[in-house]
Every structure is written in C-alpha cells, then in structure tokens.
Amino acid sequence: MTGQADFPVPARFYLRVARSFMAAFALLLVECGVRGAPLATNAPPLAERLAAARSDLAASPTNAALAVRVARLCFEGTTTATNASAKAKFAEAGIAAAQNGLRLHPQEAGLEYYLALNLGQLASTRGMSALKLVREMEAHLLAARALDATVSDAGPDRSLAYLYLNAPGWPISVGNHDKSRLHFEQAVKLAPHNPEHHLAFAEACLRWRKKDEARKHLAQAEAVWAKAQELYAGTEWQTDWSDWKSRLAELKSKLDPQ
C-alpha cells in the first residue's frame, strides 16, 4: 500500500465523469459541426429535406455527395432533437448513411467527417459506453483530416481541437491539451478567415492560463472581422455572428488592459 492510488476507483466515479463530460460534449458538437454549412432561412423543414435526400440517394445509391447530404442532415437533426431518444435515432441513421457511403467511397472526407459527428452525438446520449464512441469519433475525424482537411471550413481540425480540449484525459478518454493546441493551429492555418477558430483558440489559451497568447489570438480574430463579415454574410449567419460577437466581447473584457 503506497497511498490513495492503491485503492480501486469506484465505477460510479467513471460514470459520473462520463455523464458530465457528455453533457458538455453534446453542446460542443453542435458548435463545431455546423460551422461552414449554414442553411438558408427559407429552407424547407428538416423532415422534408431529409426525406428528399434519402429519395435521391435511393435513386442514385452510388452518389457520394448524396450520401454526405443524408449524413449531414441526420447530424442536423441531432442538434435540434428535443430528447435523447430522438437524438439517438437521428445519430444512428446518420451513422448508417455514412458507413454505407464509405463502403462505396472510402476516400470521401465528408462521409468520415459526418460519421464522426453523428458518433459524437450518439455518445452524448450514452453513459459509460460513450467513451468508446468518443474514441471512434476521434479515429474518423483523423481519417477525414487525412483525406481532406479543408472539409467544412477545416471541420476535422476544429472538431479535434474541441474534442481534445473538452474530453477527460488519459486513462479515461482522449483529452490532451497538446493535441488540442496542434489542431487549433491547423484550423487557423487552413481557414484563417473564420472568426470561430481565433476565438476558440483564445478561449482555450485562457483555460490554459496563457493570457499573452490569448491576446494574440483575440487580435487575430479582430483582424479578420471585417473580411469575415463579407464571407459570412446573410441572415443564415445571424446566429453565428451573435455568438461570435458575444464571445469577442467576453474575451476583451477578460484580456484587455484596464
């Protein structure tokens, strides 16, 4: 006996960690997954769009773009589902669509990406089994990144950065601040025009108690702000801009010299 570490950790401890992590993880998935693919405000309801996409895919089962669309729409469904059961149903459908598509198109980055995000949303409805799904999510995000790191406005790197930032660390899960930093750096490099990447990197640096570095990323967010307003224009981006402005103001309040 050498101390407290010699005692077995109760299973309920890991369950509590998993549940608290997945509650936060569900929110971060919504944030990191939908960036770069806004919908027009006059778009038909999700059920109609998903039914149409499934019908199109049934008519053209070898069409990779249609498989990606179905998987993406299923992920969209998980972000608006009102209960865990509905979320899991959408996620499972998205997983199936992506997996079926990958059997025909193993080099399609979009399928790997939305397979990963749907796995993450399914994980958010689970208990201890969520941790296995998170590792699967990580693997598919890495696969998507290897195929096309630019998909969904550097979506794989953005999602990996959030994942490594928020997940519990070893031995419970995949959390790793060094890896989070690496993928934030890559997201900024691949899509420097996206304010999300600079804001998120600044927020992460604050969590790591690196205020000077956070100020650097805050300044970069402000530097791309005007151009981003041109790139991400229109009513479909209103929610994003509301979020970005709020986070920018909060960062400035924490980082600007008094």
pLDDT digits (tens, 9 = 90+) for 11-62: 454 455 555 555 555 545 545 544 444 544 556 788 999 999 999 999 999 9
Per-residue tokens: 221: 């967010």
Per-residue tokens: 101: 């598509």
Question: Is 175's pLDDT higher than 60?
Answer: yes
In this prediction, residue 133 carries a pLDDT of 86
Residues 6+ apart with CB under 8 A from 102: 108, 111, 112, 115
Give me the CATH topology for the region 12-179. 1.25.40
169 three-state secondary structure: strand
In this prediction, residue 11 carries a pLDDT of 47
In this prediction, residue 241 carries a pLDDT of 93
Residues 6+ apart with CB under 8 A from 10: none
Task: Tell me the C-alpha to C-alpha distance, in Å, between residue 34 and each of 1, 73, 108, 171.
Answer: 50, 10, 18, 30
**Count of other CB atoms within 10 angstroms of residue 229:** 12
Say if CB 111 and CB 152 are below 8 A apart: no
Q: Mean pLDDT across the stretch 171-175? A: 83
Question: Is 10's pLDDT higher than 60?
Answer: no
Per-residue tokens: 36: 């770069």
Preceding amide of 156 cis, omega within 30: no
Q: Mean pLDDT across the stretch 228-247? A: 90
Residues 74, 75, 77, 83, Cα dihedral to 10°:
120
In this prediction, residue 237 carries a pLDDT of 86
Residue 11 sits at φ, ψ, to 5 deg, of: -60, -30
pLDDT in tens, 74-92: 998 998 889 999 999 999 9
Per-residue tokens: 94: 């998205």
Report the first-to-last Cα separation within the chain, whole angstroms: 52
**Count of other CB atoms within 10 angstroms of residue 95:** 24
Say if CB 15 and CB 127 are below 8 A apart: yes
Q: pTM for the whole thing?
A: 0.83
Mean pLDDT of the chain: 85
pLDDT in tens, 95-154: 999 999 999 999 999 999 999 999 989 988 886 667 788 889 999 999 999 999 999 999
* DSSP 8-state class, residue 8: P
Per-residue tokens: 183: 């993928």
**Residue listed under structure tokens 């994003």:** 240
